[in-house]
Amino acid sequence: MFEIKAKDNMGRVGVLKTKHGDVKTPALMPVIHPRKQEIDVGKYGADIVITNAYLIYKDEDLKKEAIEKGLHELIHFDGPIMTDSGSFQLSVYGDVEITNKEVIEFQELIKTDIGTSLDIPTAPFVDREKAESDLEITLERAREAVAYKKEQNMEMLLNSVVQGSTFLDLRRECARELSKLDADLYPIGAVVPLMESYHYKDLVDVVMNSMAELSDTVPRHLMGAGHPMIFALCVAMGCDLFDSAAYILYAEDDRLLSTRGTYKLENLQEMPCSCEVCTKYTPDDLRAMPKEKRRELIAQHNLHVSFAELRLIRQAIYDGNLMELVEERCRAHPALLEAVRHLGNYSKDLEKYDPRSKKSAFFYTGPESLCRSEVIRHVEKLRQMPKKRDLVILPPSRKPYSKFVSGKLGEFYVYGAQKELDLEDTDFMVLDIPFGLIPLEIDEVYPLSQNDAPKTRDVDAIEFAEDFISEFVEYYDQVLIHKRVVNDLELGLYEKSDFSDEIRYHKDDVKKVKAIADYQFGVGAGDALFSGNINIEKSKKTGKIRHIYDGKVLIVNMRASDSYLILSKEGAKRLHNRMPYPQNRVVVNKDSEPFALDGKSVFCKFVVTCDENIRAKDEVLIVNEEDKLLAYGKALLGACEIEQFQTGQAIKTRKGLKK
């Protein structure tokens, strides 16, 4: 019922399938009032809406009509409808006149598409005792709802809401317990007070800790989140659905939503966007209108900017630049900027989901960019790479750097004891922002050349570069740092090298492809792949490496767009022979063995286990449980997703090894 089409960080574009049609996610569900609804939200772009089953249940006339004609006719919407259970009323009034079982039964009776159990929305920052006792009830009711749905063979999909207030371990516990149930969607509840009070940093903690324990295969809904300013951030954390009455509540107060914040009509000299309303009317026109008409037009604008933002977010996921959108949006408010900085503490979680290679270049938008998955990932990989005796650090040039390095390199300063140089035993790296040290041999690998940052450094970037140097000088006997790097960073403690004139970089294609293999597949892969009579074929047009052979046997191709090595049959065999299990492996069960051998793609449900370091877009080996090589291909998901998903493709097989 939920299919993921594209991903970026923890954000995904998906399709949610319901009886009343498919919904593209991330999606916004406008809140419909079952009695007082005046605005046709479908006309303004809503594919799915949410309404309140409890309000219908409490009103004799509405209840009767809903039971007779069904919910869709009652609220005049023929797409998918989600219903809430009265939990919100419970949190406001302290009590509701309905039981959990009754509200589940009623939602099925009026033919909702997605119903909700009667969770307890525990406010943020309450006593631990209160949070724990509420949580017990929430979990009990979620279990009861799932069991009741099964027992009665109900058709509707079911929400199980994550609670736990601002206690992060309780959020995790709740999410973990709910994940054991067979609910269909997992909303994250009781976050409205956090958003209303600009506690976005706490929102990040609550959402990330809930997500950590929720299955990746189900849609996740941030309940009551309706301000377009926060959509990008929340999507990057893994939220698929939003709902809100904000579009109409704000309109009621003459306030216009925007991704930059909220505008009060009384302060507007100019209309803030280019929707139909903003192009047809001036602020004075709106102010002069009767209240009802004005409210409808502002609500129309509010829906327009919300849906426009979600389109932009989905496109950013397809393009692979969602984090740039997040960083941009979070400049709308200091509390949001604090939140995106705080999200940097969760980079390791985000990295697990982030595809290895993307269509778009990495753009540095500010210090927050230094915490992105790509940077964290490079630093980790670089630490693992084998190291020579000495290191030469060069200033950045045009990219790819290795193409523009030649001849005498200039003046150098030394860290460590001065020694006679052995260029064969020296690593050459460029120091740049945002990736820190970049070995010249691997500089064409995505995203090490496919990025851009301002040449004028901010203080965080300078500190980042300095930290990099202080760490890496410890790994080498002698570090030679180019004068320009020393000056840029104001590193004052070094003496001049007596050997500056001798420092030259010798390009060596075999070393280069071996280094790329080590970086891509793990240390040792270069020697595993490239032995024998290595023969490197380059593009006549661009001079870039295209194919690598042993004699006449193809080992790998190098993809032009990201310089990743694409295995051939021989390459896969060599990698498999020499790299220890489980590196680069996806292990499939007995049943799927013939399919893999035959070159058919591997579905998640046939995967027994896999290398935890696999990320979407990686080249991988497909083996059986005895580690016999069956096939090789490209991962479509990361390791943690492959292990969880029960449907869909895990690996797009390039070739099976059937004789």
Residue 199 binds Zn ion, judged by CB under 5 A: no
Q: Does 251 bind Zn ion (CB under 5 A)?
A: no
Contacts of 245 by beta carbon, 8 Å cutoff, 6+ apart: 30, 31, 226
Residues catalogued as catalytic: 84
Binding mask 52-91 for ligand GUN (x = CB under 6 A): --------------------------------xx-xx---
What x-and-dash track marks residues 149-188 binding ligand GUN by CB under 6 A?
------------x---------------------------
- How is residue 286 written in tokens? 């709106």
Choose the contact partner of 482 out of ligand GUN, Zn ion, none; CB within 5 to 8 A by kind.
none
Q: Give the residue, chosen from 47, 108, 113, 119, that forms a contact with ligand GUN under the rule CB under 6 A.
A: 119
Contact 436, 374 (CB under 8 A): no
Closer CB to Zn ion, residue 255 or residue 381? Answer: 255
Report the partner that residue 84 touches, choosing among Zn ion, ligand GUN, none (CB closer than 5 to 8 A by kind): ligand GUN
- Contact status: 189 vs ligand GUN (CB under 6 A): yes
The string of DSSP codes covering 305-348 is HHHHHHHHHHHHHHHT-HHHHHHHHGGG-HHHHHHHHHHGGGHH
Least distance from C-beta 159 to ligand GUN, angstroms? 7
- Closer to ligand GUN by CB, 186 or 415: give it: 186
Nearer to ligand GUN, 116 or 497 (CB): 116
Extended beta strands in 195-327, E state: 220-222, 241-244, 255-258, 261-264
Could you say which of 23, 275, 371, 630 contacts Zn ion (CB under 5 A)?
Answer: 275
CB of 227 to ligand GUN, least distance (A): 14
Only one residue has tokens 């450094």, namely 457
Q: What gap in Å lies between CA 535 and CA 552, rounded to an integer?
A: 8
What would the DSSP string read from start to end of 218-255?
Answer: S-EEETT---GGGHHHHHHTT--EEEESHHHHHHHTTE
CB of 540 closer than 8 Å to CB of 526: no
Q: CB count, 10 Å around CB of 580?
A: 10
Is 278 near Zn ion (CB under 5 A)?
A: yes
| Cα separation, 559 vs 356, whole angstroms | 14
Tokens of 428: 């050459």
Q: Indicate which single residue of 53, 223, 339, 393 sits in contact with ligand GUN (rule: CB under 6 A).
A: 223
CB of 238 to ligand GUN, least distance (A): 18
If one asks whether residue 72 binds Zn ion (CB under 5 A), the answer comes out as: no
- Cα(8)–Cα(176) distance, rounded to whole angstroms? 24
The amino acid at residue 405 is: V
Nearer to ligand GUN, 248 or 273 (CB): 248
Torsion from C-alpha of 438, 442, 444, 445, nearest 10 degrees: -100
88 contact choice in ligand GUN, Zn ion, none (CB below 5 to 8 Å, kind-dependent)? ligand GUN
Identify residues 284-303 at the interface with Zn ion (CB under 5 A): 301
Q: By the 8 A CB rule, do 250 and 256 touch?
A: yes
In the shown chain, the binding pattern of residues 10 to 29 toward Zn ion, with x for contact by CB under 5 A and - for none, equals --------------------
Minimum gap (Å) between residue 39 Cβ and ligand GUN: 20
With binding defined as CB under 5 A, does residue 442 bind Zn ion?
Answer: no
Which of 509, 658, 649 has its CA nearest to residue 569? 658
User: Which among 22, 23, 27 is positioned nearest to 11, based on CA atoms?
Assistant: 27
Cα–Cα dist 243/221, whole Å: 8
Which option in ligand GUN, Zn ion, none does residue 635 bind, with CB closer than 5 to 8 A by kind? none
Strands 495-496 and 220-222: unpaired
* 124 contacts ligand GUN (rule: CB under 6 A): no
- How far apart CA 620 and CA 612 sit, in angstroms, is 12
Largest Cα–Cα distance in the chain?
93
Cβ atoms of 306 and 49 within 8 Å: the answer is no
Contact 101, 135 (CB under 8 A): no
User: How many other C-beta atoms lie within 10 A of the C-beta of residue 244?
Assistant: 26
**Number of residues lying near ligand GUN (CB under 6 A):** 13
275 binds, among Zn ion, ligand GUN, none (CB under 5 to 8 A by kind): Zn ion
478 binds, among ligand GUN, Zn ion, none (CB under 5 to 8 A by kind): none
Check residue 121 for interaction with ligand GUN (CB under 6 A).
yes
Least spacing, CB of residue 273 vs Zn ion, in Å: 4
What is the distance in angstroms between the CA of the first residue and the CA of the last residue of the chain? Answer: 38
Q: Which amino acid is at 134?
A: D
Residues 11, 26, 34, 224: which binds ligand GUN (CB under 6 A)? 224
273 touches Zn ion by CB under 5 A: yes
Q: Which of 104, 192, 203, 393 binds ligand GUN (CB under 6 A)?
A: 192
Q: Tell me which residues in 298-337 interact with Zn ion (CB under 5 A).
A: 301
Binding ligand GUN (rule: CB under 6 A), the pick from 190, 251, 429, 579 is 190
Closer to Zn ion at the Cβ: 176 or 260? 260
Q: Which does 301 bind (CB under 5 to 8 A by kind): Zn ion, ligand GUN, none?
A: Zn ion
Contact between 142 and Zn ion per CB under 5 A: no
Identity of the amino acid at 74: L
Q: Is 228 in the site for ligand GUN (CB under 6 A)?
A: no
Nearest CB to ligand GUN, comparing residues 103 and 317: 103
Selection from ligand GUN, Zn ion, none that 161 binds (CB < 5 to 8 A by kind) is ligand GUN
Partner from Zn ion, ligand GUN, none binding residue 121, C-beta < 5-8 Å depending on class: ligand GUN
Report, in Å, the least distance between residue 185 CB and ligand GUN: 12
Residue 439's alpha-carbon distances to 391, 448, 470, in angstroms, are 10, 10, 17
Rounded (10°) angle between helices 128-151 and 100-109: 40
3-class DSSP state for residue 472?
A: helix
Side-chain half-sphere exposure of 238, counting CA atoms within 13 A: 32
Binding-site partner at residue 223 among ligand GUN, Zn ion, none, CB < 5 to 8 Å by type: ligand GUN
What's at 286, amino acid-wise? L
Shortest distance, CB of residue 307 to Zn ion, whole angstroms?
12
295: left (phi over 0), alpha (psi -120 to 50) or beta: alpha
Q: How far is the CB of 189 from ligand GUN (least distance, A)?
A: 2
3 state SS of 533? coil
Please list the residues that pair with 317 across neighbouring strands: none
- Does position 324 interact with ligand GUN (CB under 6 A)? The reply is no
Least separation in angstroms between residue 252's CB and ligand GUN is 18
Task: Give the nearest distance from C-beta 301 to ligand GUN in angstroms.
Answer: 24
Identity (one letter) of the amino acid at 614?
A: I
Residues that bind ligand GUN (CB under 6 A): 84-85, 87-88, 116, 119, 121, 161, 189-190, 192, 223-224
- Residues lying near Zn ion in the complex (CB under 5 A) are found at 273, 275, 278, 301
